[in-house]
Amino acid sequence: MSNQVSNTALRQHKKDAIQVKVALLGLNRVTASLGLALHEYSNRPNSAVLFTVLGRDDDNDTMRLAQQKGAIDNFNKNYAQVVGDADMIFLNTPMGQHEEVFARLGETLKPGAVVIDLSPLKQPGVALAKRFFPRDMHDKPTAYLVGATPLVGYDALYTVDNSIDNAKEFLFRNSDILIAPDATVPSEAVKVVTDIADFLNMTPRFMDPGEHDALTGITEGMPALLALALMSVIARSPSKSDFLRAANFNFGGSVHSLHDLTPQDLAMMTQPNRVSLRQHLDQVIATLENIKQMLVDSDDMIFPTYASGVLDAMGEWEVRREKNHWDYDTGSADVRTVQPGFGIGQMFVPKFRRKDKQDED
């Protein structure tokens, strides 16, 4: 039975359910898993929300595969066809394309739409949304951007292949989602994202875009820079051909973060965060110098002792990540601080304004 037939039957069965239209821009393991998870939630007997998911990607085969896997109900390369009627848009396009993408969104977003930015850095998207998103006659935005980074579950932590083939409906279950809205975004728009987190059994962790980007500078930007440096060392070596011919899966995993990136993507991932990255690079360089000294030191126990401490720290991280048990600092907000009563149920109201009693009188 096709997705279209089964979803039609589901809607007839759940006539009173809230109908939510979702657009996925940029299809890979992350967005396809979100699509699968939203469909799984719609299929639950007690679900009061039914999601229709449309997809867009630059690659036709990728769109067809996403539909075959059940991640999306339909697809189209035309932004207006995918975004124009969407209540919620997950943005997962390469950062090097963002100026063009945000300009297109500004032309097609309907009033009240919420764009969930899945990019590694959130501050560039905030600036682009202020430039391109539609505004009303009072110069107030009529569509909203909320930065979010869903963290994969422990079982998928070491899967470097980010293709749709590795999409799973439970990819994010029992993990965190980092939510980083600009201070000007209304809480009702943020509540839309926390509702999705609740549907997917994720724990929201709130921070501002700058704090988010400082964290992902080392967890996302630094691996890309280290991969770039490793690839550069080999590419410039007189033994380049021999090294590349001998490269195996360990090397592939080390440089995999470069696989789908363009020079423009790398620039957008690093240059807006250059101050934080320079500090991290100084620390990495100092650490590599220390390791280099250990390798030339006559004491054979220095390096194993150092490595033991690092591997212990890694083991502790893995245990915490598997259980998703963390001691958050006091600066991290809790989902209960978000105003209840809005979110998915109110997302169709332009500018997130509820009709109150005085409006009825």
**pLDDT of the chain along its 361 residues, tens only?**
334 445 554 555 566 788 999 999 999 999 999 999 999 999 998 888 999 999 999 999 999 999 999 999 999 999 999 999 999 999 999 999 999 999 999 999 999 999 999 999 999 999 999 999 999 999 999 999 999 999 999 999 998 889 999 999 999 999 999 999 999 999 999 999 999 999 999 999 999 999 999 998 889 889 999 999 999 999 999 999 999 999 999 999 999 989 888 999 999 888 888 888 899 999 999 999 999 999 888 888 999 999 999 999 999 999 999 988 887 544 444 443 444 444 665 554 334 433 344 444 4
Residue 337's pLDDT is 42
Residue 4's pLDDT is 44
Cβ pair 55, 36 in contact under 8 A: no
Residue 343's pLDDT is 61
Residue 330's pLDDT is 42
Q: How far apart are the C-alpha atoms of 26 and 101, rounded to whole Å?
A: 11
Q: How far apart are the C-alpha atoms of 159 and 164, rounded to whole Å?
A: 12
Single out the residue of 193, 220, 198, 214 nearest to residue 331, CA to CA: 214
Question: Residue by residue, what is the 3-state secondary structure of 314-357?
Answer: HHHHHHHHHHCCCCCCCCCECHHHCCCCCHHHHCCCHHHCCCCH
Q: Cβ-count burial of 149 within 10 angstroms (0-12 exposed, 13-18 middle, 19+ buried)? A: buried
227 half-sphere exposure, CB direction, 13 A CA radius = 20
Going across the sheet that includes 144-150, the strands are 74-75, 49-56, 18-25, 88-91, 114-117, 144-150, 176-181, 203-206
Residue 325's pLDDT is 87
Chain segment 296-306, per-residue pLDDT in tens: 888 889 999 99
Chain segment 50-90, per-residue pLDDT in tens: 999 999 999 999 999 999 999 999 999 999 999 999 999 99
Residue 352's pLDDT is 41
Q: How far apart are the C-alpha atoms of 225 and 277, rounded to whole Å?
A: 9
112 half-sphere exposure, CB direction, 13 A CA radius = 18
Residue 13's pLDDT is 54
Helix, strand, coil abundance in the chain, percent, nearest 5:
55, 15, 35
Strands (E), the chain: 18-25, 49-56, 74-75, 88-91, 114-117, 144-150, 176-181, 203-206
Residue 345's pLDDT is 55
Region of 343 (left: φ > 0; alpha: ψ -120 to 50; beta: rest) is: left
Cβ pair 150, 34 in contact under 8 A: yes
Residue 172's pLDDT is 94
Sequence letter at residue 268: M
Provide the β-strand partners of residue 146. 116, 181
Q: How far apart are the C-alpha atoms of 105 and 57, rounded to whole Å?
A: 15
Single out the residue of 152, 166, 161, 168 nearest to residue 260, CA to CA: 161
Residue 89's pLDDT is 98
Residue 16's pLDDT is 75
Residue 271's pLDDT is 87
Residue 299's pLDDT is 84
Provide the β-strand partners of residue 333. 206
Residue 344's pLDDT is 64
Q: How far apart are the C-alpha atoms of 21 and 70, rounded to whole Å?
A: 15
Cβ pair 70, 36 in contact under 8 A: yes
Residue 8's pLDDT is 52
Two tokens, residue 11: 């809607």
- CA torsion sign, 269 to 275 to 278 to 279? negative
